[in-house]
Amino acid sequence: MQISVCFCDKMSAFLTWNSKPSQMIIRRLLFMTFGFLASFFAGHSQPIAALFDAEDGIVVARQLLLDHQKIGDWRTARDNKYGGTGDFNNDGLTDIILTSDWGIGLLTCEEGKWKCLAAQKNGFGIGEYAFNSATDEIRGICDLDGDGKDELVAYNNWGVGILQWNEGVINVIYAAPDGTDFNGWKLRVDQDRVLGTGDTDGDKKEDLVLSSNWGIGILRYKNGKLDNLAMAPNGTTFDKNITFTTFKFKGIGAGDFDGDGLTEFIVAGDEAILFLRFHNFLIESVISIRKGTTIENFREVNPAEDKIELIADLDGNLRDDFIIKGFSDMGYIKRSQDGFKSFTKFMAGTRAGEKRIAMEDRVIGAGDFNGDRIMDIVLGGEMGLNILTEEGGIVNSLGSTQFPGNIGDWQMEATDDIVTIGQFGKAGDYCILVRKSQ
């Protein structure tokens, strides 16, 4: 065998051979090269997220999102960070927030196709505020101005910014530096946490319910800026003799539990669960569940052990309900005339479809998967997913899947992140968004 290599002026090499063994070596090198390129490009087209639905008792994949997929001006990547969901263009569909080192993108799935609503490079802003995906944290998503489109509330070390989508562009419509006094509520970016959002005062605009080391407050967006609607400092007494502090009580969420069109919000401690509301420019308690309280058709509740895992309209009466989960059972709870009562209860080990319900499973969220206008719940755990529907106090499975397992072109694994539930494709069409772990 004779192999000779010569270098030209441009540092390129020419390989010549005059024997069969050398030809075999070259063929193997070419084969390995093409194999590497095939694996490389195949890896870049692997699914990194998918939408799942229930059909005929099984979970099916509706739409895949691929790695390095070009969607409008946004290119997906497995290391994209998920920032939440909202309806940013008022079309009734759920839109997804993604961020990367480059910037921020808003994606939606419309009629079976992914679509980019906006892709914005870091650095856009107003005044001294500039959005940076590396430092900004989206803590609130709600319709602050009542136009039907959700805004994003982003915090960074400088302060807070309100971001709004408009005709394919994300604009910053308001910003305030750390320490700004909102008529009594002082902005503290290192402390402020959004407990929930909703229309607390009946003006058809959603407000921010915040907590800090000082206490809790409700901020509204009015006349182009944030303003304090009401606040309650630590040490405030609720429901006659329950002393509230943000160190002992944690925010759970918000909802309209009595059907009056106004949002209440829940905070929970070891001794009590408080339902609070805005009234007469004050934050006041509506009702509480104290340690030892017996909920009708359920049992005695211990707030230190029992957790509220979901707030949604679970019986279709246009009032929000909630799920309490303990060590061995789970209850669907609703407001009654004089307190609370359970309309569904099931124990650990209850069979629903092909799976038994485990209290270790996480209540991921709710959506109407069978079109009966009643929210079904999704449980997820180490063994798989289960979509549960309730009727007449009985829980049945609309579809389930085991980990690991193939669902179409998606390899379902226990490490997959079950991100959220939303209306994708068309209004009323609920799906589960799942992504591969980073």
Residues 185-237 have pLDDT tens digits of 999 999 999 999 999 999 999 999 999 999 999 999 999 999 999 999 999 99
Confidence (pLDDT) at 22 = 55
C-alpha to C-alpha distances, 3 to 26, 27, 179, nearest whole angstrom:
11, 15, 74
pLDDT beyond 80 at 393: yes
CA atoms lying within 13 Å on the CB side of residue 185: 24
325: CB partners within 8 A, 6+ apart: 306, 307, 309, 331, 359, 363
pTM over 0.85, yes/no: yes
Q: Rounded CA gap, 352 and 364, in Å?
A: 17
Average pLDDT of the residues of the chain: 90
> Secondary structure of the chain: what % helix, strand, coil (to 5)?
5, 55, 40
pLDDT beyond 80 at 19: no
Q: Decide if 131 contacts 114 (C-beta within 8 A).
A: no
Q: What is the 3-state secondary structure (H, E, C) of 332-384?
A: EEEECCCCEEEEEEEECCCEECCEECCCCCEEEEEECCCCCCCCEEEEEECCE
Torsions phi, psi of 33, nearest 5? -65, -50
Which tens digit of pLDDT belongs to each residue from 239-287?
Answer: 999 999 999 999 999 999 999 999 999 999 999 999 999 999 999 999 9
- Of residues 420 and 2, which shows the higher confidence score? 420
